[in-house]
Structure 1
Amino acid sequence: MLLASIIIHAAQPIRQERSAASIYHLLQGKRSAQTLQDAHMYGLTHLFGIYPKLSRQVFDKLAANIMQEEGQDIKKNMPYFNGMAYQSQTEPFLYRLLLLVQLLSNQTKGENRYIPVTDNPAIQHWIKQLYRQEQHRLDDWRNGVYEELYGLLEELPQIQAELFVDRLTGYHHIGLTTVQLAEKYHVHDTDVLLYQTSTIHHLLQHAETDTAAFPHLAALMDRPQHKIRSITSTAQKTRTMLERGMSVEQIALVRGLTENTIKDHIVEITWLDGEALSSKFISDTDAAVILECAMQAGTNKLKQIHALLEGKYDYFQIRLALALRKEQEVKA
């Protein structure tokens, strides 16, 4: 079961220092400072938000059976995911593509009356706008979407490509539901959704990095920068106020939040932007001392690091140092 393999993969770096619930929040894409920090700290950003509709009951039942397994490193068997980068893009891109394929297929046959694959008004409006702009180039779109999809799906494992193709709806053809796909391919319905997400991330990654080769798929994407998209909106507000020269105390007062919440935002920003703002709160020397302690102790547990350093640094400084670790490694 793919979901079980993903849980095992996530548990390998995290199991000694976090509860199983932290993995659930990671997969669901909970946009809290702790979950975002865990994703970066344990190298699990690719799994962040890959299953937003994951049931807690399903997760708990599965995790209870497998969290104690040592298991082998199954990373090489994992489908491609890039959750932190594409979490907000996955569903809009998927349904734009599904509705576009349906439109192009029916238009070829001169059929203008059909039930759209999604009743999401925003998706329907988006495709209608595209149609108005490109209605004189629909043959180019039809050929282009086919060629781009064919080439990229050919790179995937057969079952993953076929699951996606069988989902497509066209002229006088209704795509299979998640339950129908699970029955046809003898997999769990949760795995159908995970394979679908992996396929969309695969398409997005190629469309984003090589727009010239995949212009039609790239046109279906939104264009916000990853860092802006990854930082929570409330942390973004804090960053703006910090850049204006406001202190933690001032921001907390103006926003009606606790100082600890503002510090959570600063740590979150540091994971994504490095020392741009954190240098105001911790020096390179102090960060190096904390990181050396964490490395020698082989832990990311704040309480343990704090005790080993005999309380010389507070938890906020320790969290900032850990957030800076990736940047320090790159410099080294």
Structure 2
Amino acid sequence: MLLASIIMHAAQPIRKERSAASIYHLLQGKRSAQTLQDAHMYGLTHLFGIYPKLSRQLFDQVAASVMNEAERYENQDIPYFEGMTYQTQTESFLYRLLLLIQLLSNHVREEKRYIPVTDNPAVKHWIKQWYRQEQHRLDDWRNAIYKELYDLLGKLPPLQAALFVDRLTGYQHIGLTPGQLAGKYNIHETDVLLYQTSTVHHLLHHAENKAAIFPYLAALTNQPVHKTRTITSTAQKTRTMLERGLTLDQIAAVRGLTENTIKDHIVEMAWLDGEELSRRFLSDTDASIILECAAGAGTKKLKQIHALLDGKYNYFQIRLALALRRGHGVEA
């Protein structure tokens, strides 16, 4: 089961330093300071938000199975994911593509009456806007989309490519649902959704990094919206106040929050902005000392690092130092 392999993959770097709930929140894409920090700290940003509709009940069931059969899953490869990069764009790109293919397929048969594959107003509006601009180039689009998808899907494992193709709806043809795909290929429905997400990330990665080669798929992306760094809205407000020169206690007073909460926001931002922000609260020398201690002990546990350094640095400083690793982890 793919989900089981992913849970095992996430559990390995986290080891015993976080609870199973932290992995659940990671996969679900919970936009909290702690989950974002965990994603960076343990090098798991690629798994962030890859399964937003994952239920806690299913997660607990699969996680228990993983713990009982750890050897079965620990060395299994998982497909390509880039969750934190494409989390906000995955669904919109997928349904733009699905609706576009449906439109192009019906157009070539001169069929104007069909039920759209999605009721999402934003996607339908985007397609309408696209149609106004490109309605005289539909043959070019149909041929190009086919060619680009044929090329990119051909780079995927056969099962993953087949799952995506069978999802497509066209002229007098209705794509299979996740449940139907699970039955046809004898896999869990959860894995169908995960493979679909992986495929979309694969398409997005090539469309955006090789736009000259895949210009038609690139045109379906939300540039540059997804490029915005992932940060909670409350942390963004703190950032704005920091840029205005307010101190920690001033920000806490204005926002009606504790100073520790403001520090949480700063650590969250440090994972994204690195040295420039951290230096305002921690010198390079002190950061090096903390990181050397963490590396020597092979841990990211704040309490353990704090004790090893005889309490010389507070937890805020230790968290800032770890943030400088930007998700590369502390070497044991």
TM-score (normalised: structure 1):
0.95
Q: What amino acid is the match of 1:51?
A: Y
State the shift of 1:228 in Å: 2.4
State the shift of 1:72 in Å: 7.3
Q: What amino acid is the match of 2:273?
A: D
CA distance in 2, matches of 1:75, 1:230: 30
Q: What amino acid is the match of 2:83?
A: G
When the two chains are superposed, the root-mean-square deviation of aligned CA atoms in Å is 1.7
CA distance in 2, matches of 1:245, 1:93: 39
State the percentage of identical aligned residues.
75
What's the counterpart of residue 172 of structure 2? 172
Q: Which moved more, 1:309-318 or 1:194-203?
A: 309-318
State the shift of 1:198 in Å: 0.2
Secondary structure class of the residue paired with 1:77: coil
Deviations 1:136-164 (CA, angstroms, capped at 9, x unpaired): 11111111111111100000000000000
**Change in 2 beyond 3 A, CA 1:328/1:105:** closer
What's the counterpart of residue 115 of structure 2? 115
Q: What amino acid is the match of 2:207?
A: A
Q: What amino acid is the match of 2:200?
A: I
CA distance in 1, matches of 2:328, 2:278: 13
Secondary structure class of the residue paired with 1:295: helix
Larger RCO: 1 or 2 (CA < 8 Å, sep 6+): 2
Q: What amino acid is the match of 1:254?
A: V
State the shift of 1:177 in Å: 0.3
* Structure 2 stretches lacking a partner, 5+ long: none
What's the counterpart of residue 125 of structure 1? 125
CA distance in 2, matches of 1:247, 1:327: 27
What's the counterpart of residue 193 of structure 1? 193
Secondary structure class of the residue paired with 2:187: coil
Q: Which moved more, 1:75-84 or 1:43-52?
A: 75-84
Q: What amino acid is the match of 2:220?
A: L
**Change in 2 beyond 3 A, CA 1:121/1:227:** closer
State the shift of 1:71 in Å: 2.9
Q: What amino acid is the match of 1:131?
A: Y
What's the counterpart of residue 155 of structure 1? 155
1:181 equivalent in alignment to 2:209: no
1:2 equivalent in alignment to 2:5: no
CA distance in 2, matches of 1:159, 1:24: 26
CA distance in 2, matches of 1:146, 1:318: 51
Q: Which moved more, 1:233-242 or 1:212-221?
A: 233-242
**Change in 2 beyond 3 A, CA 1:328/1:285:** farther
CA distance in 2, matches of 1:70, 1:18: 17
1:62 equivalent in alignment to 2:91: no
State the shift of 1:257 in Å: 2.2
Asked if 1 retains the 8 angstrom alpha-carbon contact of 2:27 and 2:50, the reply is yes
What's the counterpart of residue 308 of structure 2? 308
State the shift of 1:273 in Å: 1.3
CA distance in 1, matches of 2:266, 2:151: 42
Within 5 Å, give how 1:116-265 maps onto structure 2: 116-224=116-224, 228-265=228-265
* Structure 1 stretches lacking a partner, 5+ long: none
**Change in 2 beyond 3 A, CA 1:260/1:37:** same
What's the counterpart of residue 288 of structure 1? 288
Aligned length: 329
What's the counterpart of residue 14 of structure 1? 14
What's the counterpart of residue 41 of structure 2? 41
TM-score (normalised: structure 2):
0.95
